[in-house]
Structure 1
Amino acid sequence: MTCAACAVSVESTLKNTPGVSDASVNYANQSASVQFNPKVVTPEGLQTALRSVGYDMVVDAEDPQQVQQEAQQKSYEALKKRTIWAALLSIPIVLIGMFFMDLVPFGNYIMMALAAPVVFGLGRTYFVNACKQARHGKANMDTLVALSTGIAFLFSAFTTIYPQFWLNRGQHPHVYFEAAAVIIAFISLGKLLEERAKSNTSSAIKKLMGLQPETVRLIDGDTERDIPIANVRVGDRLLVRPGERIPVDGTVQSGASFIDESMISGEPMPVEKTADVPVFAGTINQKGSFQFRADKVGSDTVLARIIRTVQEAQGSKAPVQRLVDKIAGIFVPVVLGIALLTFAGWLLLGGDNALTTALLTSVTVMIIACPCALGLATPTAIMVGVGKGAENNILIKDAESLELGYRVNAVVLDKTGTITEGKPVVTDLHWLVSEGEQNRLASILYALEGQSEHPLANAVTEYLKRSDVSSVAINRFESVTGHGVTAEYERETYVIGNRQLIDRQGVSLHEDVEKQVDGLYKSAKTVVFFANQRQLLAVIAIADPVKATSRQAVETLQRRGITVYMLTGDNTQTAAAVASQVGIPQYRAEVLPADKAAFVQELQAQGNVVAMVGDGINDSQALAQADVSIAMGKGSDIAMDVAKMTLITSDLTSVPKALQLSRKTVQTIRQNLFWAFIYNLIGIPIAAGVLYPAFGFLLNPMIAGAAMALSSVSVVSNSLRLRSIRF
């Protein structure tokens, strides 16, 4: 399907097929959902019905998505070649027709020879599709292209072969080969740009599916064996080794480890998993090994539900070109009707030159109604808008986000990686010993954390590394599950971990230290304690810092009347602290991916146009559900694939810039469509001869061709004005 009108044609054809009770066609992901009676019609019957109107569908394929993608890629490559050749052949035609008509011998014949393969060879698909549409009483952009180029070429060919027909009637034999060829080249370019924008619609689904391993390690009694993931059954006992992905949802039976669940919670800190704790498909095991019981498999896992939601929401929206195709569907019969009325009117009332005038005026109507400007109106604005966005670190996937962005009145921000940096760092290190002791103890601390598997240990070692702290050799290192680590150095025991660990060591906190720790907790920081057997040595605070520009971005959005919300899988205390720092009064904490998507849906139900900004796999459902989806460039591939906009920078101030760019681009598209039609609204009546009774003026077809060209120039020039936007 090459345009939104194609989706309408496919849907109409399917619905009118005997045995089909309902059909819904998804233009964005090139799919259809069909309810049919298999006793009346088979999938092959549906395929035959679609082929009769110039389309096709994948039937009985092992990997239908792969077959569809290969067909789309093949079609794109063919269109690309046709566009390039059409442009190359059109250039000499334009040069001869505009500048060397009187200098080149047999110029008309040369132009005809060059234009014929462009119009009827490279542009053949427009004529084939137009004929198939016509057989079913339908019309789209292909119809308009085929009519205008076909009539212009045939008229010019007649004039070239039989110029005396016009000379005998006192008319100059004008030809319009350049117009016919250039129309094919420009319209093909527009379709190529649109196809490129849609080319990656299914890559997000493929990457999500890739999060599941193909095989799993099954524990069968005393033996272990690898089996395909499709063979896993509820209740199976599975083994997960370090670095592997969890294959299905389940519950830990034995062993322990830390698991990166950022795809589910969005939080960067891996979660400790011990006996009876749930695990989820697609999450990544870190250093430990464990066995777990499969509780949910196949389509019941959290990952499968994310895939299903993204698949349904991603393709449920239509691009801005739908409006153009709808107008074209009405515009074609109107122009045809006007041309026929013009021919009939002049044939009856034209006097001595009735036939000549009738033919010239009707052809002039068809030429001035050329859809070139209409075909350029959207793609040129999008091209310039996308280029301007790229200059400002905003990558735009397609026209849909540009169409809706200016209407956004609610922005939902993920916390981790969007508002915050997304990486835990040490914010405070308070030593409770003399300066002379600090260097020696820092080396011991570095050694302890260097051997720890806890994710927060990396933040401490990175912090100490920047201070050129060297490590020491420690003895009897032991990890205390859920609390921290202990080790010996020079016959003294040292511990680093949470409050429970140092309490077990019998180390107490002075009153002033207690106040200091309480202040850190209220700032939503994780506190780690370093102590020996006798006293507390240091207090370390770790947090995910808020980006420097986050507050500015939120304030800019709020000044424009946009309500800003924050969602996070983190705890309420942390969420409240971050929301307060950036000035967001509306926030929700401890939300899962499905909760984020539901919240977006809730805002939409209230009549809001919602933009979702996120960076993780856990945001993909909400991104797919949102009207405008924006991914942070340093986030996950899945988030960037689902989102219609990606911010190359992690700077949140690019969000208001993106919405402003949307508003300017939509304004330009509307202006382009206005200019594309104003020539027709003014030019078609003049071409038909309405001024002749009062002023004796008939529009020359050559002037009509110039007006057509001027409309295209106006559209392109207006689009180029987007380059001057100042954010």
Structure 2
Amino acid sequence: DGALKVNVTKIGEETFLAGVMRLVEEAQASKSRLQMLSDRAAYYLTIIAIVTGGITLLAWLLSKATPSFALERFVAVVVIACPHALGLAVPLVAAISTTLAARHGFLVKQRLALEAARNIDVVLFDKTGTLTKGEYGVERIFNFFRFAESRNAGQFPISNDNEILRLAASVDSRSEHFIARAIVREAERKGLELARVEDFQRIPGKGVRGEIYSNILKNVGISDKEEIEIAVGGESLAIESRVSIPGEIQTKIDALSRQGKTVIYVIADGQLLGAIALADLMREESREAIHALKTMGVQIAMITGDSEGVAKWVAQELGIDEYFARVLPHEKSEKVKLLQSKGRRVAMVGDGINDAPALTQADLGIAIGAGTNVAIESAGIILVRNDPRDIPKIIRLSRFTYAKMMQNLFWATGYNVVALPLAAGVLTSQGILLQPALAALFMSLSTVVVAVNAVLLKKKEL
């Protein structure tokens, strides 16, 4: 009797489920180094079996055996050789591990990535959106005009805190950064009308800037200029703009930084108007993930564009071994290279466009599922649930998978090393002779053993 209005955002192959299925299929189609080794070994085993069979046939004929007996030995050798077991030793385990990964909330895009995870000895986390939720909230606004030190410096006459917030939010409305969105949300919550921004510019790792026109400048008491450049950003932007921060305010800002708060400065035509202090919410799962990784013998490092004070506070809160603060986007991959130059195998965990080069440079790139498409495309493994506790699971699965692959390879190789001479009849003088039918049975059983051992991977607790 009514009407239902449905807004379809994605259909068919564009849906999340289809994307998951596509990534699983791509991972299963890709090959690890061990799988490529297994394929080559199976190929050579087939050749070895045929050559060994031919040599066996010729040897028995030369030893005056009957042609039927010599032919029987040839058939037994060819039949008992099992390239199937060797060929399945790795691919079957790889397929099961990929499916197991998807069930536990992370998608393996590249098999080589999962294979590399077992050797990781340091995990480098990007702070915002990875260890923290990236859900910033405005905690405090500093109006520098209230202080005599600022007035003497000729700062613009901003009458109240809301105008500082309005100016910052107007420029930040053009940005997609976590902090920018938080400032805009706070302005919207207070019902502030944002101004039109022209010549918007993003300054990587520092902030944003843009020109705001007179419709807002009248509200803040600036009537002699039609337009003004507003820059909004962190400490790096303030240093670059060479602005002076009032001593009393600097003391408070330093205290906030030591508590893990992020301070954003609002600058008008090179003059400091105010600052906005924001707090990011720590992921409850981060401590558990870091503890689990340390238990596994993996070191933890953190990289962030935030100040030294913020980075140090977060590192202490989470028990992180080392950190890199005030890192610009293009410098992140350099930090990964720095760790690698010390002989360490690095896993990089990130979610943003800025993290893409570092994700590519790392021995293992892990992207947060809620991150940008660029980050996801650059990573070998994706955390669908955005849960850092899945990272220890990745390493455990990699180690379990490698162990199963090696077990299967040793079994398949050892079986053929023993079976081929027996089928050829080297123990005939001892009364041990394998008939072709029995050789076929052993060949089938060897394949079953490999398959059963691979399936046992599903029983492992991650």
TM-score (norm 2): 0.69
**1:518, distance to aligned residue in structure 2 (A):** 4.6
1:196 is matched with 29
**Which has the higher mean CA deviation after the structures are superposed, 598-607 or 647-656?**
598-607
1:454 is matched with 172
Native 8 Å contact 2:127 2:303 kept in 1: yes
Native 8 Å contact 1:193 1:379 kept in 2: no
**1:422, distance to aligned residue in structure 2 (A):** 3.1
What amino acid sits opposite 1:415 in the alignment?
A: K
1:298 is matched with none
What amino acid sits opposite 1:197 in the alignment?
A: S
3-state DSSP of counterpart to 1:635: coil
Structure 1 alignment gaps of length 5 or more: 1-191, 199-317, 431-441, 490-496, 499-508, 531-537
Output the CA distance in 2 between the equivalents of 1:596 and 1:528. 21
2:68 is matched with 356
Post-superposition Cα deviations, 1:77-133, rounded to whole Å, max 9, x if no partner, equal xxxxxxxxxxxxxxxxxxxxxxxxxxxxxxxxxxxxxxxxxxxxxxxxxxxxxxxxx
1:393 is matched with 105
Native 8 Å contact 2:141 2:161 kept in 1: no
Corresponding position: 1:580 with 2:316: yes
Native 8 Å contact 2:116 2:363 kept in 1: yes
What amino acid sits opposite 1:573 in the alignment?
A: G
Native 8 Å contact 1:474 1:488 kept in 2: no
Output the CA distance in 1 between the equivalents of 2:321 and 2:211. 34
**1:681, distance to aligned residue in structure 2 (A):** 2.0
3-state DSSP of counterpart to 1:566: strand
2:394 is matched with 658
Output the CA distance in 1 between the equivalents of 2:257 and 2:193. 33
Output the CA distance in 1 between the equivalents of 2:358 and 2:247. 46
1:372 to 79, 84, 106: 84
Native 8 Å contact 1:388 1:723 kept in 2: yes
3-state DSSP of counterpart to 1:649: coil
Which structure: larger Rg? 1
3-state DSSP of counterpart to 2:349: strand
Corresponding position: 1:341 with 2:55: yes
Change (3 A) 1:548 1:487: farther
2:119 is matched with 407
Corresponding position: 1:719 with 2:442: no
3-state DSSP of counterpart to 2:284: coil
Native 8 Å contact 2:352 2:374 kept in 1: yes
Superposed counterparts of 1:491-570, under 5 Å: 518-527=254-263, 541-570=277-306
1:70 is matched with none
Native 8 Å contact 2:261 2:279 kept in 1: yes
1:600 is matched with 336
Native 8 Å contact 1:395 1:648 kept in 2: yes
3-state DSSP of counterpart to 2:87: helix
Post-superposition Cα deviations, 1:619-676, rounded to whole Å, max 9, x if no partner, equal 2222222222211111122222222211112111111110011000100111111222
Output the CA distance in 1 between the equivalents of 2:99 and 2:305. 35
Change (3 A) 1:548 1:429: farther
Change (3 A) 1:517 1:639: closer
Native 8 Å contact 2:57 2:74 kept in 1: yes
What amino acid sits opposite 1:383 in the alignment?
A: A
Structure of greater relative contact order (alpha carbons < 8 Å, 6+ residues apart): 2
Output the CA distance in 2 between the equivalents of 1:331 and 1:476. 72
Output the CA distance in 2 between the equivalents of 1:529 and 1:642. 32
3-state DSSP of counterpart to 1:656: helix
Native 8 Å contact 2:133 2:283 kept in 1: yes
2:22 is matched with none
Native 8 Å contact 2:169 2:184 kept in 1: no
Change (3 A) 1:686 1:397: same
Output the CA distance in 2 between the equivalents of 1:482 and 1:473. 17
What amino acid sits opposite 2:428 in the alignment?
A: Y
Post-superposition Cα deviations, 1:346-368, rounded to whole Å, max 9, x if no partner, equal 223364xx211211211221122
1:425 is matched with 137
Output the CA distance in 2 between the equivalents of 1:527 and 1:670. 52
2:377 is matched with 641
Identity percentage of aligned residues: 35
Post-superposition Cα deviations, 1:475-523, rounded to whole Å, max 9, x if no partner, equal 999xxx789976649xxxxxxx99xxxxxxxxxx998x98765532433
Post-superposition Cα deviations, 1:38-97, rounded to whole Å, max 9, x if no partner, equal xxxxxxxxxxxxxxxxxxxxxxxxxxxxxxxxxxxxxxxxxxxxxxxxxxxxxxxxxxxx
3-state DSSP of counterpart to 1:570: coil
Post-superposition Cα deviations, 1:194-225, rounded to whole Å, max 9, x if no partner, equal 77237xxxxxxxxxxxxxxxxxxxxxxxxxxx
Change (3 A) 1:541 1:654: same
Output the CA distance in 2 between the equivalents of 1:323 and 1:487. 72
Output the CA distance in 1 between the equivalents of 2:323 and 2:313. 11
**Which has the higher mean CA deviation after the structures are superposed, 331-340 or 646-655?**
331-340
Change (3 A) 1:526 1:337: closer
**1:445, distance to aligned residue in structure 2 (A):** 7.5
Q: CA-atom RMSD, angstroms? A: 4.2
Change (3 A) 1:579 1:664: same
Native 8 Å contact 2:82 2:446 kept in 1: no
Change (3 A) 1:473 1:597: closer
Superposed counterparts of 1:589-628, under 5 Å: 589-628=325-364
Change (3 A) 1:373 1:450: same
**1:540, distance to aligned residue in structure 2 (A):** 5.9
2:440 is matched with 705
Change (3 A) 1:419 1:486: farther
Change (3 A) 1:578 1:337: same
What amino acid sits opposite 1:590 in the alignment?
A: R
3-state DSSP of counterpart to 2:54: helix
Structure 2 alignment gaps of length 5 or more: 1-24, 143-159, 174-178, 198-208, 221-231, 234-245, 267-273
Change (3 A) 1:327 1:514: closer
Output the CA distance in 2 between the equivalents of 1:606 and 1:423. 34
What amino acid sits opposite 1:454 in the alignment?
A: D
Change (3 A) 1:715 1:548: same
**1:592, distance to aligned residue in structure 2 (A):** 4.1
**Count of matched residue pairs:** 378
Change (3 A) 1:457 1:610: closer
Output the CA distance in 2 between the equivalents of 1:643 and 1:571. 27
Superposed counterparts of 1:139-538, under 5 Å: 196-197=29-30, 319-328=33-42, 331-349=45-63, 351=65, 354-427=66-139, 448=166, 452-455=170-173, 458-460=181-183, 462-463=185-186, 471=191, 488=219, 518-527=254-263
3-state DSSP of counterpart to 1:699: coil
1:690 to 426, 429, 433: 426
3-state DSSP of counterpart to 1:327: helix
Output the CA distance in 2 between the equivalents of 1:407 and 1:451. 45
Post-superposition Cα deviations, 1:531-577, rounded to whole Å, max 9, x if no partner, equal xxxxxxx9963133332222221222122221222222333333223
Change (3 A) 1:700 1:463: farther
